[in-house]
Amino acid sequence: MIKKLIRSILGKGKKDAPGASGKSGAATEPDVLGPKQHGIDPALVSPNAVRVTQTLQEAGFKAFIVGGAVRDLLLSVKPKDFDVATNATPEQVKQLFRRAFIIGRRFQIVHVMFGQELIEVTTFRGASAESAPKDEHGRVLRDNTFGEQHEDAVRRDFTINAMYYDPATQTVLDYHGGIADIRAKKLRIIGEPEARYREDPVRMLRVVRFAAKLKFTIDPASSAPIRVMAPLIDNVPAARVFDEMLKLLMSGHALACLQQLRKEGLHHGLLPLLDVVLEQPLGEKFVTLALANTDARVKQGKPVSPGFLFASLLWHQVLEKWRAYQAAGEYPIPALHLAADDVLDAQTEKLALQRKIASDMRDIWAMQPRFERRVGKAPYKLLEHLRLRAGYDFLQLRCESGELDAELGEWWDAFMNGNGAEREELIARKPADASSGPAPKKRKRRGGRNRTKSGGAATDQGGDDAAPAGAEATSAPEQSVPEPSGEAPAASGEAPKRRRRRRSPAAGSDVAPAGDGE
């Protein structure tokens, strides 16, 4: 009541300054810009988005294309998706379209499907009710309050996302000086920044994404609270944080976004230890190459695998733990799986990595030792792996960053592109002892006595580790058995033969699956 009285005294019909802070100080009358003023090309507008606005308007409702689509249109960029805002309720919208689905818990929206294209329709949101459920930090949990268009403009996060385009009249409604901010390349939050970040901490990630993607500067008032309020992101559901991080990393400006994250102090907790990795020469070069390649693929319209992207970002954490497990006496292959478990378990709490993505990451990591086995049948078996291309690209990144010898990447490039005779020549040219790395030494240190005590489990680990490139049952046991652990040989001369006959079947049965299951 007091706020309404003050507004009436100051002048009810007077429009507030664009971008005025505080929700109660919102502009109630927008600037209206015609085609010559805004310069939007109608050819860039989705026909299905026009169809949705037209259908709603013919039914007597207001309807506008809104948000990021209008921002991109003003920048002469074809939007990837289109959102529509209307004064129709979700139920009224659903009745007007054959393939329409109401979704959302915090705020209901309608997805209208046209083949593979999805148009998201939202009802104008009203001023956030004080009674809306919030957590102890002030984050709004659920708010289905509908309202007028000027109230909806206040509820939007940034001035550049609070404009409405009507395809029928080709006019743009600008409530908060969004067009002026676009021309000034400035990113400014609507209202009081601290309160808006507290309502929805994900807005801090969105600030970073838009600033990096659009190459805009963040308004100082909008940037100031971020570093202090960054811990609030920990209170956001992990699945929502993951969705926002995925948008950030697959925006085509992933490297710039990551640099902006660090600049604003938002990287802690999202990708733990990533800042440490980026301070190491090899780690920084590897991550930089991975993100640059991802950005290039996005800009070329090529598909990008989230599993490959996250596998790249977290690789040096896996690598560090892998080496630690091996230093503690673990076999290389089991050590790699343990390292992957540790890293994924830590990340799942923060990012809620989907099971499919986590599975792809494991496959890519687990393939890396197999690329070093270049004799026998092992290279041919690796060609049959479903994730071969992703694993191969990952290997090339490791070589390009200097983590591995470039010769390994060149060998696999020739092998994958060669014919049968060329592949046989490559395999024959590679010394057998160089393909299995330190595995034979590990077997000498661990010894046959340990394998006998622990039975199948230890033998299976040894099989994964020591199997030479081909993982062939006929040759692998002969290489692993003659020197059990550096112990003195038996005196009779018969014992070695008996041990070889008795243990060869077990070794053969464990070694063979190693080539198939990795």
Q: Are 69 and 79 in contact (CB under 8 A)?
A: yes
Average pLDDT on 196-216 reads: 91
Whose CA is closest to 246, among 351, 360, 390, 111? 351
- Phi then psi for 83, rounded to 5 degrees? -115, 150
> pLDDT digits over 57-88, tens only?
999 999 999 999 999 999 999 998 999 999 99
Percent of the chain scoring above 90 in pLDDT: 54
Helices (H), 328-475: 332-351, 355-367, 378-383, 388-401, 406-417, 420-429, 432-435, 439-446, 448-454, 456-466
Residue of 16, 31, 72, 83 with catalytic role: 83
pLDDT-based confidence at residue 514 (cuts at 50, 70, 90): very low
Q: How far is CA 47 from CA 21, 114, 164, 355, in A?
A: 36, 10, 17, 36
**Where is pLDDT greater, at 284 or 59?**
59
Domains in the chain: ranges and CATH = 16-190 (3.30.460.10), 436-517 (no CATH)
CA 319 to chain CA centroid, nearest Å = 20
Q: Which two tokens stand for residue 428?
A: 């024959």
> pLDDT digits over 109-162, tens only?
999 999 999 999 999 998 765 555 555 555 555 556 788 999 999 989 999 999
Residue of 81, 243, 342, 413 with catalytic role: 81
Average pLDDT on 247-264 reads: 87
pLDDT at residue 132, rounded to an integer: 56
pLDDT-based confidence at residue 352 (cuts at 50, 70, 90): confident
Tell me the pLDDT of the chain averaged across its residues. 78
Residue of 16, 72, 152, 157 with catalytic role: 157
Is residue 41 annotated as a catalytic residue, yes or no? no
Average pLDDT on 431-442 reads: 40
Measured from the Cβ of residue 17, the count of other Cβ atoms closer than 10 Å reads 10
**Where is pLDDT greater, at 272 or 152?**
152
Q: Which two tokens stand for residue 44?
A: 């860039």
Helices (H), 168-219: 178-184, 193-199, 202-214
Average pLDDT on 391-405 reads: 95
Is residue 166 annotated as a catalytic residue, yes or no? no
Distance from C-alpha of 57 to C-alpha of 241, rounded to nearest angstrom: 36
